[in-house]
Structure 1
Amino acid sequence: MTVSTDPGAAADAAAPHDPARRPRGPVWAVLALVLGVALGIGIGLSIPHFTKPGDDSVEAGFLRDMSTHHAQAVEMSMIAHQRSDDPEIVYVANDIALTQHGQIGYMQAWLRDWGLSPSSTRQPMEWMPNSAGSIVNGLMPGMATPEQLTKLRGASGKELNTEFLTLMRQHHLGGIHMAQEAVKLSDNKDIDWIAQSMVNSQQSELGLIDDLLKKVQAG
Structure 2
Amino acid sequence: MAVFAWLGFAVGYAVATPRDGGTDPVAVGFLQDMSSHHRQALEMSLIVLDNGETPAVRAVAREILIGQSYEIGRMEQQLRTMGQDPIDRPDVVMAWMGMPSTVAAMPGMATAGQLDALRSAQGVEADVLFVELMAAHHAGGVHMADDAARRASSPALRDLAMRMARNQRVEVQEMIALVERHELPADVTPIPPPRS
Q: Fold-level match, TM-score > 0.5?
A: yes
| Cα displacement (A) at 1:197 | 1.2
Name the CA distance, whole Å, in 2 between partners of 1:138 and 1:75: 14
Residue deviations 1:158-210 (CA, integer Å, cap 9, x gap): 21011100100100110001000000110213311221111111111111112
Match of 2:173 in 1: 207
| Cα displacement (A) at 1:77 | 1.0
Residue deviations 1:54-76 (CA, integer Å, cap 9, x gap): 2x711111100000000000111
Compared with structure 1, are the counterparts of its residues 136 and 159 closer, same or farther at alpha carbon in structure 2 (3 Å cutoff)?
farther
Could you list the runs of 5+ residues in structure 1 that have no partner in the other structure? Answer: 1-50
In structure 1, which of residues 112, 115, 124 is the aligned counterpart of residue 80 of structure 2? 112
Over the aligned positions, Cα root-mean-square deviation in angstroms equals 1.9
Out of 146-155 and 64-73, give the one that drifted further: 146-155
| Cα displacement (A) at 1:82 | 2.9
Name the CA distance, whole Å, in 2 between partners of 1:91 and 1:117: 33
Residue deviations 1:27-66 (CA, integer Å, cap 9, x gap): xxxxxxxxxxxxxxxxxxxxxxxx6522x71111110000
Compared with structure 1, are the counterparts of its residues 97 and 128 closer, same or farther at alpha carbon in structure 2 (3 Å cutoff)?
same
Name the CA distance, whole Å, in 1 between partners of 2:160 and 2:21: 17
Name the CA distance, whole Å, in 1 between partners of 2:121 and 2:158: 37
8 Å CA contact 1:166, 1:213 repeated in 2? no
Name the CA distance, whole Å, in 1 between partners of 2:159 and 2:79: 16
Compared with structure 1, are the counterparts of its residues 136 and 187 closer, same or farther at alpha carbon in structure 2 (3 Å cutoff)?
closer
Match of 1:68 in 2: 36
Does residue 87 (structure 1) correspond to residue 55 (structure 2)? The answer is: yes
Compared with structure 1, are the counterparts of its residues 86 and 138 closer, same or farther at alpha carbon in structure 2 (3 Å cutoff)?
closer
In structure 2, which of residues 181, 185, 191 is the aligned counterpart of residue 217 of structure 1? 185
Compared with structure 1, are the counterparts of its residues 185 and 137 closer, same or farther at alpha carbon in structure 2 (3 Å cutoff)?
closer
**Structure 2 letter corresponding to 1:89:** V
Match of 1:30 in 2: none
Could you list the runs of 5+ residues in structure 2 that have no partner in the other structure? Answer: 1-19, 187-196
User: Percent identity, aligned pairs only?
Assistant: 37
Name the CA distance, whole Å, in 2 between partners of 1:120 and 1:71: 15
Match of 1:141 in 2: 107
Paired residues in the alignment total 164
TM-score scaled to structure 1, two decimals?
0.70
Match of 2:96 in 1: 127
Residue deviations 1:72-129 (CA, integer Å, cap 9, x gap): 0011111112322111001111111111111001100011111111142251100013
Name the CA distance, whole Å, in 2 between partners of 1:178 and 1:137: 13
8 Å CA contact 2:21, 2:154 repeated in 1? no
8 Å CA contact 2:93, 2:103 repeated in 1? no
Larger Cα-atom Rg: 1
Higher relative contact order, structure no. (Cα contacts within 8 Å, ≥ 6 residues apart): 2
